[in-house]
Amino acid sequence: MIPRTSDIRSAVLGQKPEVTELFDALRAGSQVGAGITRDSYGAGEQFAHQLIAARAGAMGLEVGRDHAANLYMTLAGSNRSAPRLMTGSHLDSVANGGNFDGAAGVIAGLAAIKSLQQLGLQPNCDITTVAIRAEESVWFQVSYVGSRSAFGVLPAGALEAKRVDTGRTLAEHMAACGANVEAIRRGEASLHASSIRAFVELHIEQAPQLVEAGVPIGIGTGVPGNFRYPRMTILGEYAHVGLPRRFRRDAVLAASEFAVGLDDIWRMSDTSGRPMALTIGRYHTDPNAHALTKVAGELTLSLDVRAYSPAHLTELEAQVVELARDVEKKRGVRFEFGARTSAEVAPSRPELITALTDCAKMLEIPRMPLASPASHDTATFTVAGVPAAMLFVRNTHGSHNPREAMEIDDFLQGVSVLAAWLVAEATSKASN
């Protein structure tokens, strides 16, 4: 029997106390100072994985881990060989971050599955909530480590990336958390697109667009692609503070001109109605060489540029390079771009956008389509060929900071949409 919409809603809303308690337990175990630190392949992430695995075990779900130590929590379906439905997100966080970025998607998956259990629904295929490892690229400066390892597509060299705080390699950190590094190195896959019917990731919104619109739920239109230069260096010449301007090769002024030029590129893109985002996350002179009375001879910065179409990204990168060449000529400096990483654009599957929108309508939950410029593991699923989409929950104060503020009532609206979608899929005749 297919559950009624009102029953799905009450099964989800009834979980408010235990969902709140689970978020609190997660916070209590990973609070460091004012914020949350769940370091990728480190103690913080380990704690979260153990807590969530125990909860899934108590729910009677099958709990398993793959060669990258990603965690899979599965409600068995009637046809176990049918491609499964998946949901979930990551459990790691940035240092001094918030409690909801990532974790909300994992707890949402468990809450949605629990509501199906309470409704006595046996799905026609397995339903899995995944807790993905190492989504936050701040730690190893590599994106989507857990999800790309699962699909066997972690780029060569990533395993040798050193964690910014410990100086130990990704391979060492993974091994310490029970991963099989050699299997990852060989490109073995634990997930295959052909065995996944669809993947939906719930995530807090990391900007105030839903707050501004007064709408609790966003249906993601896609995950932007990016190109990144984690360590770009501008080389000029250290000189005495008395050196006349015409002789100077000042790295700080060159970097400033570059930064303002980048902002112009963004402004023009906005003006022409093409969404993008551009961030210089690090920007510093060398503390061992800079001084009040010296012209700076070197400046190091990081650059992250993201957009929603491959053509736009190509165009933007050409503009960035052209700008750097202009600054070089004008200021007598040299740009070393350093290593480059990138991620493909991952548009949401239109039929999933429609399905999630229909579920929200059925539940009378206000929703809107949302272009969110953040990166998410959903992109890895999309690029691998899995039909995928995202659900965003309204959140005040952005993310990657301790002030993240998602209301549990908004979260439960998102879980309701997720649960309704799972019910619709898991009872549909077409896929039997």
Which positions lie near Zn ion, rule CB under 5 A? 101-102
The CB-of-395 to Zn ion minimum distance in angstroms stands at 11
Q: Three-state SS across the chain?
A: CCCCHHHHHHHHHCCHHHHHHHHHHHHHHHEECCEECCCCCCHHHHHHHHHHHHHHHHCCCEEEECCCCCEEEEECCCCCCCCEEEEEEECCCCCCECCCCCHHHHHHHHHHHHHHHHCCCCCCCCEEEEEECCCCCCCCCCCCHHHHHHCCCCCCCHHHCECCCCCCEHHHHHHHCCCCHHHHHCCCCCCCHHHEEEEEEEEECCCCHHHHHCCCEEEECEECEEEEEEEEEEECCCEECCCCHHHCCCHHHHHHHHHHHHHHHHHHHHHCCCCEEEECCCEEECCCCCCCCEECCEEEEEEEEEECCHHHHHHHHHHHHHHHHHHHHHHCCEEECCCCEEECCEECCHHHHHHHHHHHHHCCCCEEEECCCCCCCHHHHHHHCCCEEEEEECCECCCCCCCCECCHHHHHHHHHHHHHHHHHHHCCHHHC
The CB-of-59 to Zn ion minimum distance in angstroms stands at 23
Q: Residue 431 is encoded by which pair of tokens?
A: 């896929």
Q: Which CB atom, from 211 or from 362, has the smaller least distance to Zn ion?
A: 211
Q: Which CB atom, from 39 or from 101, has the smaller least distance to Zn ion?
A: 101
Q: Which CB atom, from 3 or from 102, has the smaller least distance to Zn ion?
A: 102
The CB-of-233 to Zn ion minimum distance in angstroms stands at 29
Q: Which CB atom, from 101 or from 410, has the smaller least distance to Zn ion?
A: 101
Q: Residue 404 is encoded by which pair of tokens?
A: 């993240």
The CB-of-357 to Zn ion minimum distance in angstroms stands at 22
Q: Which CB atom, from 99 or from 233, has the smaller least distance to Zn ion?
A: 99
Q: Which CB atom, from 190 or from 395, has the smaller least distance to Zn ion?
A: 395
The CB-of-361 to Zn ion minimum distance in angstroms stands at 27
The CB-of-291 to Zn ion minimum distance in angstroms stands at 40
Residue 53, Cα to own-chain centre: how many angstroms? 21
The CB-of-111 to Zn ion minimum distance in angstroms stands at 18
Q: Which CB atom, from 324 or from 343, has the smaller least distance to Zn ion?
A: 343
The CB-of-259 to Zn ion minimum distance in angstroms stands at 26
The CB-of-374 to Zn ion minimum distance in angstroms stands at 7
Cα distances (angstroms) measured from residue 326 to each of 97, 281, 320, 334 = 38, 22, 10, 11
Q: Which CB atom, from 104 or from 386, has the smaller least distance to Zn ion?
A: 104
Please tell me the distance from the alpha carbon of residue 359 to that of residue 412, in angstroms, as a whole number.
14
Q: Which CB atom, from 101 or from 304, has the smaller least distance to Zn ion?
A: 101
Q: Which CB atom, from 102 or from 152, has the smaller least distance to Zn ion?
A: 102
The CB-of-203 to Zn ion minimum distance in angstroms stands at 6
